[in-house]
Structure 1
Amino acid sequence: MSDQINSRRRFLRIAAVGIGAMEMSLSGLVRAQSNQSAQGAIAANGATSNASFGQIKQINAGTLNVGYADVGPENGPVVILLHGWPYDIHSFVEVAPILAAAGYRVIVPYLRGYGSTRFLSGKTMRNGQQAVVAVDIIALMDALKIQKAVFGAFDWGARTANIIAALWPERCAGQVSVSGYLIGSPQANKAPLPPKAEFAWWYQFYFATERGRLGYEANRHDFSKLIWQLASPKWSFDDATYDRSAEAFNNPDHVAVVIHNYRWRLGLVKGESQYDALEKRLAAAPVITVPTITMEGDANGAPHPDPAAYAKKFTGKYQHRTIDGGIGHNLPQEAPKAFADAVIDVARM
């Protein structure tokens, strides 16, 4: 009888151990599946994307040595993607592969003052006026022997694409422009805006001061992160995603170019005289005749015009698309498929 009891006890102990191990195994499996699901969700909205462009190429173009990503078939129709402030080429890190898969050659340059783009001469003015950034891109196209391209852009990049489309339409096959028509002038910017709109431009007034220049120089990482948060209030980007782009702000000319850009807009500093004729044409707010799709996120926290205010500036084939789902100012990175689809669609218009 005692042997039977002991045997039964041993069996129960073994069974208990086995059940415990099974529970631990199942628990681990559930956690693993949960983590995989969470990672999939994060990857879907791009919040922790570790995607990279890989090798960045360099080429002398105009007054710059430009750093740029070159993705897709070398002989494909060209798309040029242009970032703004305070962003960099990684705004398009998920857009470019979609376009490359569709057969496009995708060029994504660092603008002057960002990333690996450098001035060829220390004597060149660190100019940020609107015309010179467009001239930079025309020079890049010439250096790469690209006669014509479709442009996809936002922020400073959208203004640059607008200028190229307006002044050099023979170089622009079409454009996707986030926030629409952004060509302006210091003269037009003298007109005061309603208080709410002026408040949205707080950083422009900060940059107009020496305190602002010093503050941005000392705190460019945290300052730019704040702009990201304000401009895209519903975008849950993580530190790794932001830091990947923030590396581009360590460019030695970044602060000088940014400060000059915003001071020039307010007429507080002059540009370079060789661009006066271009700026005069831009001050007349020229219409854009090339095929255009304008886009806006439904949660854009950055200053931006209402689509109805600029629709008539596009006199060629034209569409506007508002992207829902809490999409902010950095639309290409927050909604890469919608942006890539628009680029493909405008190329076919």
Structure 2
Amino acid sequence: MEIQPLFLSLTSLFCLFVLFPHSTAAAPIGICYGRVANNLPPPSTAVNLLKSNGITTVRLFNTDPDTLTSFSGTSISLMIGVPNELLPSLATTTIDTSLQWLQSNIFSHISPTQIKYIAVGNEILLKDPFYKPYLVPTMNNLYIALQTLGLSDTIKLSTSHAASILMNSYPPSASSFDPNHQSIMGPLLQFLKDTGSPLMVNVYPFFSFTNNPQFVSLNYALFRGRNREIDQNLVYDNLFDATIDAFVYAMEREGFEGIPVVVAETGWPTGGGEAASGENALAYNGNVVRRALNDVGTPKRPGLGVEVFLFDLFDENEKGGVECEKHFGIFGADGVKAYDLNFN
């Protein structure tokens, strides 16, 4: 998760805003299953909770064998994370190493038919720039390994970014990527285009509001905005639409059209900070779910549902950072909903 900083200009501020994606069918609503806590139920209990609530897509942040085994044989499809620290070895060794890693760490515990995405690293450009040179080579090696296994059409490779990889994003049509990441964004977008994979972004409008309330209203972040902005004859009345389209415009500025955007993480905390409450979390996540299921899309890409992974299944009481990071759970450790969010 990214804690987005305070910027001084409106142009820079907009890069902190929410990002949400789309897909070509009714967009599935996924949930992130973070486990940085000491009070969580076993993975088998979590899987039953997910199934009972009709959640069919889940993001895992690593390849923990017990967790993967608990999902095996269910109807739940997965996004599985490759930890940042593994990238140097996967990038600089042979394809056989990538094949072996996939087989021993993923496919020996769960069928490839349940894997939808493999997310290579998490917020590397923001948090772990040491791994930046290894990102695209790792993705290439894993892609060739998936090709060898006949799985490259069904399992898509991408990497999740902090929303602040954008520099200029207001208005959306003026959006561009931070030039500090220029050396990697071209090859990365080319990979995504060539393999039919989405751009993944972790976005937190909660932090955009709390860090910059003079520029971002709570209503705008919660889909209750009354003010409308017109950009290129398109009307924006919420942060959700404006930020998705900012990323679409940024990709087009680099010469890449048609790459879908998937939100790999987004959510709203129930405690630990200003505007953190169950009521606001329900308003935010409820609107995200409804828009996805109704294929609302954005002004630039209307009618294309937004595929989103909500953060988080449970509160994580051992998370670092500010207090609110521990309070994004939609469910308590006892399985009771923190607020009455309907996933379908």
Higher relative contact order (CA 8 A, sep 6+): 2
- With the shorter chain as reference, the TM-score category is under 0.3
- In our comparison, the structure showing a higher alpha carbon Rg is 1
- What TM-score, normalized by structure 1, do the two folds share? 0.26
